[in-house]
Amino acid sequence: MREKILSLLEKNSRIDIKDVAVMLGVSEVEVANEIATMEKENIICGYNTIIDWSKTGDEKVIALIEVKVTPQRGLGFDKIAERLYQYNEVTSVYLMSGGFDFTVIIEDKTMKAVAQFVADKLSPLETVLSTSTHFVLKKYKDYGTVLGSTHKDERILITP
């Protein structure tokens, strides 16, 4: 039941508990209790809304920054990640395999603000060896949701 609830919530965090209960064939109380338990256990860490900022007057610049670091003895990557995710501009931090150690995703008002963040806050950290910044030009799909598409009516028009 747990995995099914998580799957439904991942697709639509606003789904009504009553609908989940009907889909799973259990009571609303069972669903509510299971969700509460998963929240307490930090399995469910939050609920997010996906916004297409390009359709608002408040666009944001999103940057993916590849970061190479030197891990500190005895602390590893976790302490560095903790330092990185403390910045307000940072929306996500991922430990990576391959040619760099972290992907840091930030959002700010302008490219200049992103550059300022990298120059003033990220690069000066003693563990940071190098960075490479990539700007998101357009989002097509975000967290499984297609953005900016208009529903295409595929019905055949029949006229008398």
SS3 134: strand
Q: What is the pLDDT at residue 149?
A: 65
Crossing angle between the packed helical segments 2-11 and 28-40, to the nearest 10 degrees: 80
Q: What is the pLDDT at residue 155?
A: 63
pLDDT by residue (tens digit) across 93-104? 999 999 999 999
124-132 average pLDDT score: 95
pLDDT by residue (tens digit) across 37-57? 999 999 999 988 888 777 887
How many CA atoms within 13 Å lie on the side-chain side of 155?
5
Q: What is the pLDDT at residue 80?
A: 93
| 49-77 burial code (b ≥16 CB/10 A, e <16) | eeeeeeeeeeebbbbebbbebeeeeeeeb
Backbone angles phi, psi at 36, to 5 degrees: -60, -40
Residue that is written with structure tokens 């550059």 in the block? 115
Alpha-carbon separation of residue 18 from 23, 27, 31, 153 (angstroms)? 9, 8, 8, 31
Say if residue 68's pLDDT is above 60. Answer: yes
Q: What is the pLDDT at residue 75?
A: 78
